[in-house]
Structure 1
Amino acid sequence: MNIIDWAVNTMGTLGGPGVALLLLLECVFPPIPSEVILPLGGVSAGRGEHTYIGILIWSVIGSVLGAYILYGIGRALGPERTREIFIRLPLINAKDFQKTDEFMQKHGKTAVFLGRFIPGIRSLISVPAGMFAMPFGVFTLLTAAGSAIWNAIFIAFGYYLGSRWQVIEPYTDIFSKVCYVLVVLVCLWILVKLIMRERKRRAAGLPDPDEKHLEELKKDQ
């Protein structure tokens, strides 16, 4: 039995709560694709087995609960521990941590909301939200709002197209692949910038900006 068959059986057995469970798992186990789960939930609603609103509500519950798990991981790490990790990693330093913190303080709400529409980012954005202590209520509201819009669209495909919803699957698959490629390209671009910065620093004979911080950490340990 493949993942899709298992997802269909789970929804058939548990109904709306099954949709919530699958979307919760999708947040921490990306191979379960929401772009397939949601239309299937819409198909069952279109057949009268469930209501559109019911499936949508359960889907948002699952998306939010899944996001809570990753948000909790971020909160468990916390800003101080995250800062320690930053300064121990090659190529990045405490200033990069500060810039990340400033970005989340300034643009974190937008990132959490819009991140719900981007495969890959949809789950991961919850981690920095937790790391930099975005208020729990704000995080919940933004996650629920973004997830509701995304989920409503894909549930509607299944609801109105029925078993023919698969005609859109190639397009959603292309969209997902393009998003993943763009994420990889951005990561590679950042990596190249960091490598070039480190080369310039060494060529100029400048000290590692994190040496003092690392010495302080060793003393504390």
Structure 2
Amino acid sequence: MAVYVYSIVGEDHPVRLDAVRGPGAPPLGRLRTIKTGALCAIVGDAPLDPRPAARNLAAYREVQQHLLAGGTVLPLRFGFRAADDAEVRVVLERDCETYARKLRSVAGCAEYRLEVAQDEVAAGLEHAPHRALATGVVEAFRPFTRERNPLEATGDRILSVAFLVPYDQEELFLATELSLAHQMGDDVRFRLEGPMPPYDFV
């Protein structure tokens, strides 16, 4: 039976799955692990209806947040499927070094997504002042982040970016966001989402 592959974690992750379920009516929502060497994949039987319904996406996110609370997690894209458990095991064994390297790159971190919007901006980074403002915001966070990944800025947003933030820098990162939002005034709106698994750094 086809399976959803939710995440990959290391052998030191506690992987407590009793309190969380994937999409689909029982027994489809039951999660399990597939282990090979130092890696462990969290999987569940794929629902019969493969459409990305809102309830399925919500269940996927709940699983990822639950795993993040237990340690470093490498989230796979929503709806990632394999033919069966055997295929998952083959992929883990074949690409073990790649997955191990990616886990190390995000270890001890969570992702935060920041959107900054300005009332008079029609679309994206059209003008030099807006580009300068966006650059300044990103630079202010640099000392407290391990990586950053620009995302698409649409509508009145002048900036959309994902940050990989070490846990020991979260307090300073959040304080910086509050300080910048206060300095910019009411014309500039900040929207920060997180902490979340490192979706944009996989």
TM-score, normalization by structure 2: 0.25
| Greater C-alpha radius of gyration | 1
* Higher-RCO chain (CA-CA 8 Å, sequence separation at least 6): 1
TM-score, normalization by structure 1: 0.24
More helix by share: 1
More strand by share: 2
